[in-house]
Structure 1
Amino acid sequence: MKPGIKPSYIKSSYMQRCICIVAYFLVGSLCLIKCYASDVPKVERWGRYEITLKGPVTGNPYTDVTLKATFSKGTDKVTVNGFYDGDGVYKIRFMPAKTGVWNYVTASNLAALKNKTGSFQCVSAAGDNHGMVRVWDTYNFKYDDGKVFYPFGTTAYAWTHQGEELEQLTLKSLKNAPFNKVRMCVFPKYYNYVTNEPELYPYEKISSAKGANGRVKFVWDFKKFNPAFFRHLENRIDDLNALGIQADVIIFHPYDKGHWGFDSMGKANDLFYIKYLIARLSSFRNVWWSMANEFDYIKSKPREVWDTYSAAVVNNDPYRHLCSIHNGSVYFDNWKSYFTHVSIQNGAPVEDFGRAVLLRDVYFKPVIYDEVCYEGNLPLRWGNLTGQQMTEAIWQGIIAGTYVTHGETIKTKGDTIFWAKGGVLKGESPARIAFLKNIMEQGPGPLKLADPWKDNQTAQTDSTYYLIYFGKQTQKDWAFSLPKKNGPPAGTKFKVDIIDTWNMTITPLNEVFETAAPDGYRIYDTHGKKVKLPDNPYMALRIKQVK
């Protein structure tokens, strides 16, 4: 030790140097973390992360190449299939359900595509990104983030096959409409009021020639897809997502009749198509799977094959999107585990009270009456509902704790029918559907019949909120009366709003009603009060508890 230098100074100087060294490394580490964080791609929760790889174009990449990737975050692992997107481009898409850093590694039968690694950061969802729609509380739906979803859907089967101008017009119509779900076909449709040839086809065309009957005969390579067709479909599904609309994607349909042959490709080609479609679309959070429209009318596919096809959809979809199968005349086995909810074609259940609830009680799943005939002016029994009939059908479904899909078949000279091609909505029911949708979204939750055995007009969320619908019947007054079942205790106070479902008015009453003790199966006002009604059809009452 040098003379004059105290040991405490030496200790202090040493500690200062150590602190400086530690600070240097901390600052350097923070810089590295910051640089890493800025370089790592960021994707919203329930967004879409896409891996793009270059690979061979020789042979048939659709059949010769296998590709998948496993995404991992801690103990969470998800494996998804990739697909060939043409021009030597291979893609894998992933929808993360949890925030944080995800890592991936690819697997393939080709060295050029396997063991590719990478990572991205999943950040919190923002804006209108609520995740996927799921079944909730047995009979209803919620988004992943907990927001309740009430399916107020419509129908535009072949809207994505009509060209840019008309498709943009359809999107404009949907933007200004109340609908949050659209039933739509993957394959083009050759049926009444929609017989145009699309600009894009799903497969590579080998040849086409006019037959003796003047119709074109197409020959396709069912082992080679047309990526441009599927990219176009994806863009339209993303367009719907931007509008907050679910795409109820119909995988098969019978409206071909040999014109293209997409309804009769054979089991092996059908399964090949399913795998490719799911690989491309399963990362889209607003997709629902509909195995078929009118499955029983596709005569080339026996009933038993739908189990195989439905299992293929579920097994290839790592996210378990909502899935259903739509009937023509005969229902499928909707209780099977492939199906998350029930999609029904039948207008009778929503023509009057007490019918729609029956299938809810049979299947113990959400029931959507996806086809109950359409508001229109066609000379066909399925296409000539009045606006009042369409609106009442939807109210009947809601009151029963089920849901009903809208459709429009109004034909004017030189114009399209929305149900077939999209375009402009002309009917009277969409505005009334928006009115009902707003009532539902303002309420405390989904509805169910308060007493389905004896009162099929009174729905409730719980004993604090009721919605009573009178349908076509007219009356001048209504004695305050609630079902005893699941009812409120004596002394509960309520206020009543009179709703004109057709004229779209809500009239609050100033009077307060107070429940008495049950009298038999009913609960009345303590003083027997009545509500005066305007004696019009399509009236309803909203009854809310007050403190």
Structure 2
Amino acid sequence: MLTPLVTLGQVLDAPGGRALLERHLPEAVLDQPGLRVLLIGAFLRVAPGLRDDEAARELFWNEIDKVMAPILLHEHAPAVTPAAPDPSAPRATAAWTLVGEPSRWEVLEIALQGPAAGNPFVDVELSAEFRCGERTWTVGGFYDGDGVHRLRALAEEEGTWRFVTTSNSPALDGIKGEVVVDPAAPGAHGPVRVDGFHFAYADGTRYRPWGTTAYAWNHQDEQTQTTTLETLAGSPFTKLRMCLFPKHFIYNSGEPERFPFVRKDDGSFDHTRFDTGFFARLDEQVRRLGALGVQADLILFHPYDRWDFADLGPAVDDRVVRYVVRRLSGYANVWFSLANEHDLIAGKSTADWDRIGELVTAEDPHGHPLSIHNFSQHFDHTRPWITHASIQRDEPYRTAENTSAWRERWGKPVVIDECGYEGDLEYDWGNISGQEMIRRFWEGAVRGGYVGHGETYWNAEEQLWWSKGGRLTGTSPRRIGFLEEIVAASPTGVLEPLPSDFDLPWAGVQDQYLVSYHGFGRPRERHVLLPPGRWHVDVLDTWECTIDRLPGTYETFVLVPLPSKPYQAVRLVAA
């Protein structure tokens, strides 16, 4: 199926679309303005001929594809070959400056005043080799408007850095220089790296990805962005999923002020020129997240689109990826996600995703975390360019319980970025309770993984956190903070799955720190056989965020009294 995400309004507006829908759907729904934003699939349950007949549904979707394909899929632009250098032009004449005073784990940025004629976004190719001691990094440059070309590296070492440029523009070719990188500022830990089935900053400090989603917060007005950042500052979240391209979906159908591409007078986009104002704002958004200790998990492509950004074609896709990665890989707090729901993006094959993933890896000399997210079909996360599995729930209720199996299957960290959202929408993905959100977080944590948050409570302004950011009103964030305290208290700062009871998972650090989680269960007591040694025993109420320690210490065996309530956990701490 090519078009599972088309809305009623899109089909009605397409040539032949109304006639198609009049044959299949109740006429009463076709002219109700409030229904235009709903996905066509939502109407199948009110059309008995489609609801009850699989063959009729398949025929219906084939007809939808024929109507929508000319609109959604276009002839793709060819690749643009950069201009050939002029052998007679003088080399290395561009003036360069160091932007700021870089310290370790910050951006090391060189600005060069180079050619502005023609279209430098596609005419000029620039790179540089940076060297500090025995280490080298090859960094791609990008054009930032007004004749300014930039090189950004992540300063992974303190000391003297030397660089030499390579370019098809003689003025930018062969420039040499050196800069001094100061020691790391307090609290600077570097980029996040994979550490077994978990994560750590480059300096070894433990990192735990308790993430949330606000897909289009960065496409909102400045006040909404500021409010979002203020909310994050008071939250437990250490990662934010956000989209590079604007998103068109329910509760998020506004027109952004700026786009990644320059917009022409006729309303179309020039896919050979980037809007440097848009990207300057993205730079600032990433910096502001970094100041809060939040990783910017940037989603490069997604299917929720009315501007044709989901079907740019390989040449333009690669141009976008190259520009974005070169521009952002100098920041320590960046993650790259190839897609939200890759299997809903028409026109991109597995080979396309492999090509894009390998391009990100080639253009990012600092190895930021890189993933791809699914709708219903998991990608093969054993691919070498994928650092960790990014997962959407498999079924309405059970997903986090699969974490251990996924770790074994792919041999990589498991981050369930989309387990469902705390909220009250009519859709099953957007109406779980805060209690259920917390249960899913704990079920994933005691199996050695990480679960992500989102919030979809309706309000009259349609300012839903999951789409636009703003304020959080749900009940789960504070309890996620309590889970962070429990995991952080582990001697290793993480929970690893441990030998478990037949009905109850245990996790932690063998012989030092063990946690079990009862979930829906509400026992009044639990017999626990203890590992060798003496142990403190704690009863954790994961909803009330309380810790009740049993008096004394125990060895061999303990009968733990419990409050006959759900969402309880037991913690053993070596005495």
TM-score band, normalised by shorter chain? 0.7 to 0.9
- Equivalent residue for 1:275? 322
The correspondence of residues 499-518 of structure 1 with structure 2, limited to 5 A, is: 499-515=540-556
> Deviations along 1:416-456, whole A, 9 cap, x unmatched?
00000000000000010011111111221211221258454
Q: Is the 8 A contact 1:207 1:220 kept in 2?
A: no
The higher radius of gyration belongs to 1
For the pair 1:405 / 2:452, whether they are aligned, the reply is: yes
Which letter maps to 1:416? Q
Q: Is the 8 A contact 1:353 1:456 kept in 2?
A: no
For the pair 1:245 / 2:304, whether they are aligned, the reply is: no
Q: Is the 8 A contact 1:449 1:456 kept in 2?
A: no
**Residue 402 (structure 1) shift:** 0.7
Which letter maps to 2:199? F
**Residue 117 (structure 1) shift:** 2.2
For the pair 1:493 / 2:534, whether they are aligned, the reply is: yes
- Equivalent residue for 1:55? 114
**Residue 355 (structure 1) shift:** 2.8
> Deviations along 1:75-113, whole A, 9 cap, x unmatched?
322110110001111111111212211111222112222
**Residue 349 (structure 1) shift:** 9.4
Name the CA distance, whole Å, in 1 between partners of 2:242 and 2:100: 33
- Equivalent residue for 2:506? 458
- Closer, same or farther: CA 89–42 of 1 in aligned 2, 3 Å: closer
SS in 2 for 1:307: helix
Name the CA distance, whole Å, in 2 between partners of 1:108 and 1:340: 31
- Structure 1: 5+ residue stretches without partners: 1-38, 209-217, 483-487, 516-524
- Which of 279, 286, 298 is the aligned partner of 2:333? 286
Name the CA distance, whole Å, in 2 between partners of 1:111 and 1:452: 65
Q: Is the 8 A contact 2:422 2:431 kept in 1?
A: yes
**Residue 66 (structure 1) shift:** 1.1
SS in 2 for 1:358: helix
SS in 2 for 1:126: coil
For the pair 1:200 / 2:249, whether they are aligned, the reply is: no
Name the CA distance, whole Å, in 2 between partners of 1:303 and 1:58: 38
For the pair 1:468 / 2:527, whether they are aligned, the reply is: no
For the pair 1:535 / 2:534, whether they are aligned, the reply is: no
Q: Is the 8 A contact 1:350 1:356 kept in 2?
A: no
- Equivalent residue for 2:141? 82
Q: Is the 8 A contact 2:371 2:388 kept in 1?
A: yes
Name the CA distance, whole Å, in 2 between partners of 1:177 and 1:321: 24
Tell me the TM-score normalized by structure 1: 0.85
Which letter maps to 1:224? R
Relative to structure 2, which stretch is displaced further, 194-203 or 118-127? 118-127
For the pair 1:393 / 2:422, whether they are aligned, the reply is: no
> Deviations along 1:221-277, whole A, 9 cap, x unmatched?
111111111111110011000000001110111010xx2111111111101111111
Tell me the TM-score normalized by structure 2: 0.81
Name the CA distance, whole Å, in 2 between partners of 1:304 and 1:169: 40
- Structure 2: 5+ residue stretches without partners: 1-97
- Equivalent residue for 1:113? 172
Q: Is the 8 A contact 2:137 2:365 kept in 1?
A: yes
Q: Is the 8 A contact 1:350 1:394 kept in 2?
A: no
Name the CA distance, whole Å, in 1 between partners of 2:405 and 2:270: 46
Name the CA distance, whole Å, in 1 between partners of 2:317 and 2:500: 42
Name the CA distance, whole Å, in 2 between partners of 1:465 and 1:349: 32
For the pair 1:230 / 2:279, whether they are aligned, the reply is: yes
Q: Is the 8 A contact 2:413 2:449 kept in 1?
A: yes
Which letter maps to 2:498? A
The correspondence of residues 121-200 of structure 1 with structure 2, limited to 5 A, is: 121-136=180-195, 138-200=196-258
Name the CA distance, whole Å, in 1 between partners of 2:395 and 2:416: 10
Name the CA distance, whole Å, in 2 between partners of 1:142 and 1:43: 23
- Equivalent residue for 1:255? 304
4+ residue segments displaced more than 6 Å: none
The correspondence of residues 355-370 of structure 1 with structure 2, limited to 5 A, is: 355-370=402-417
- Closer, same or farther: CA 300–207 of 1 in aligned 2, 3 Å: farther
> Deviations along 1:21-45, whole A, 9 cap, x unmatched?
xxxxxxxxxxxxxxxxxx9974221
Name the CA distance, whole Å, in 2 between partners of 1:67 and 1:448: 45
Relative to structure 2, which stretch is displaced further, 112-121 or 157-166? 112-121
Which letter maps to 1:403? Y
- Equivalent residue for 1:342? 389
Name the CA distance, whole Å, in 1 between partners of 2:402 and 2:121: 48
- Which of 360, 372, 392 is the aligned partner of 1:313? 360
Name the CA distance, whole Å, in 1 between partners of 2:261 and 2:208: 36
- Closer, same or farther: CA 347–418 of 1 in aligned 2, 3 Å: farther
Name the CA distance, whole Å, in 2 between partners of 1:353 and 1:121: 46
**Residue 464 (structure 1) shift:** 1.3
Name the CA distance, whole Å, in 1 between partners of 2:431 and 2:147: 50
**Residue 303 (structure 1) shift:** 2.5
SS in 1 for 2:382: coil
Name the CA distance, whole Å, in 2 between partners of 1:120 and 1:40: 10
Q: Is the 8 A contact 2:211 2:238 kept in 1?
A: yes
**Residue 357 (structure 1) shift:** 1.3
- Closer, same or farther: CA 542–302 of 1 in aligned 2, 3 Å: same
Name the CA distance, whole Å, in 2 between partners of 1:444 and 1:350: 32
Name the CA distance, whole Å, in 1 between partners of 2:300 and 2:221: 21
- Equivalent residue for 1:297? 344
Name the CA distance, whole Å, in 1 between partners of 2:541 and 2:458: 28
Aligned length: 477
- Equivalent residue for 2:104? 45
Q: Is the 8 A contact 1:347 1:371 kept in 2?
A: no
- Closer, same or farther: CA 450–350 of 1 in aligned 2, 3 Å: farther
Which letter maps to 1:504? C
Which letter maps to 2:269? W
SS in 2 for 1:112: helix
Name the CA distance, whole Å, in 2 between partners of 1:74 and 1:430: 44
> Deviations along 1:113-165, whole A, 9 cap, x unmatched?
222222122222122211111011x2000111111111100000000000101
Name the CA distance, whole Å, in 2 between partners of 1:363 and 1:456: 24
- Closer, same or farther: CA 466–262 of 1 in aligned 2, 3 Å: same
SS in 1 for 2:441: helix
SS in 2 for 1:309: helix
Name the CA distance, whole Å, in 2 between partners of 1:350 and 1:452: 22
Root-mean-square deviation (Å): 1.7
Name the CA distance, whole Å, in 2 between partners of 1:416 and 1:252: 23
- Equivalent residue for 2:495? 447
- Closer, same or farther: CA 431–219 of 1 in aligned 2, 3 Å: same
Q: Is the 8 A contact 1:42 1:120 kept in 2?
A: no
- Closer, same or farther: CA 350–289 of 1 in aligned 2, 3 Å: farther
Which letter maps to 2:180? Q
Name the CA distance, whole Å, in 2 between partners of 1:285 and 1:455: 41
Name the CA distance, whole Å, in 1 between partners of 2:519 and 2:265: 56
